[in-house]
Amino acid sequence: MTASHTAFVFPGQGSQKVGMGKDWFDRSPAARQAFEEADEALGFALSQLCFEGPEEDLQLTANTQPALLVASVAAYRGLVEAGYGDLAAVVAGHSLGEYSALVAADALDLSDALRLVRRRGELMQEAVPVGIGGMAAIMGLSVAEVGNVAQDASDGDQVCTLANMNSELQTVLAGHRPAVERAVALARERGAKKAVMLPVSAPFHSPLMAPAREGLEPLLRAAAFADPRVPVVTNVDAAPVTTGDAAREALIRQVDGPVRWTESVEAMAGALAVDRFVEVGPGKVLTGLNRRIARGRRCLNISSPDDLGKLDGASEDAED
């Protein structure tokens, strides 16, 4: 397997769990340094929150985002330390995971990224009062069908829009709670296998996040972005960027724009000739999605030092 065929992808919010990254911290000096850098950058023991919780604090958006970022970057640095850092010729991340991808691509400094996502989480939470917005997962309908549902559920000032296109038959909607609830009912009527409201505190990646985008934009413009070492496939365009300026612009638009994950994976599997997707960081959510999107491609996750052997090819075809 050559580097030109491998993509590293990084998870987003929802993959967090208490205890994440502790095995990397214990067994990899490079990973340990990432956690120490995070604690210093944010001025509190983020590492302790990752390792010990409490879970209710870890689940707060302003904590979840930097915690997942450092856990993913620590895993990546442990992977590099073990000699696998040159495998990937392209990187991507789901929502928050795009920051992890940019750090891995040397486009963004970890300390800067941590401060940005900490504020990103705060701004997203502040953008919409609790109870006003909502999100829902729809399974078993095509993206086009879910788009029609969202359009029909929107009413006047109450909007419902596509937020995450995770796979052809798994889509997330976001917007004003009454409109999203109408969309859930419509999706069920139209044959969805599953249509449920999600237990989230804000309608991420929807037009309701415009205040968060406005608050984050000046911080992103002030941050130092370098040209990435390898192309980064962005959520908003599902296309690779190769300059720091383009990466910054994509992060600005990502706040209130949809996550086009299906198209991103299709672009990597198609034009970028990727035939192996390696999820780096906690969990294996993206590995499951990628198997459904890029059928026939190898998809695996590296969430623990014990997983590193998969990169040698011995078990990369195995189901995780």
CB 165 within 8 A of CB 103: no
Beta bridge partners of 232: 91, 241
DSSP 8-state secondary structure symbol assigned to residue 155: B
- Sign of the dihedral defined by the CA atoms of residues 252, 258, 260, 261, in that order: positive
CB 155 within 8 A of CB 231: no
DSSP 8-state secondary structure symbol assigned to residue 82: T
* Rounded distance between C-alpha atoms, residue 106 and residue 104, angstroms: 5
Check 28, 100, 205, 206 and give the catalytic one. Answer: 205
DSSP-based helix, strand, coil % in the chain, nearest 5: 50, 15, 35
Structure tokens at 125: 């939470």
* Rounded distance between C-alpha atoms, residue 77 and residue 32, angstroms: 9
95 noted as active-site residue: yes
CB 163 within 8 A of CB 206: yes
* Rounded distance between C-alpha atoms, residue 221 and residue 31, angstroms: 28
Residue 14 main-chain phi, psi, to 5 deg? 115, -20
Q: Which pairing describes strands 194-197 and 133-139: parallel, antiparallel, or unpaired? A: antiparallel
Q: Which amino acid is at 233?
A: V
* Rounded distance between C-alpha atoms, residue 232 and residue 236, angstroms: 12
Q: How far is CA 174 from CA 113, 130, 141, 147, 202, in A?
A: 25, 14, 16, 11, 9
CB 289 within 8 A of CB 166: yes
Check 28, 47, 95, 303 and give the catalytic one. Answer: 95
205 noted as active-site residue: yes
Q: Which amino acid is at 163?
A: A
List the catalytic residues.
95, 205
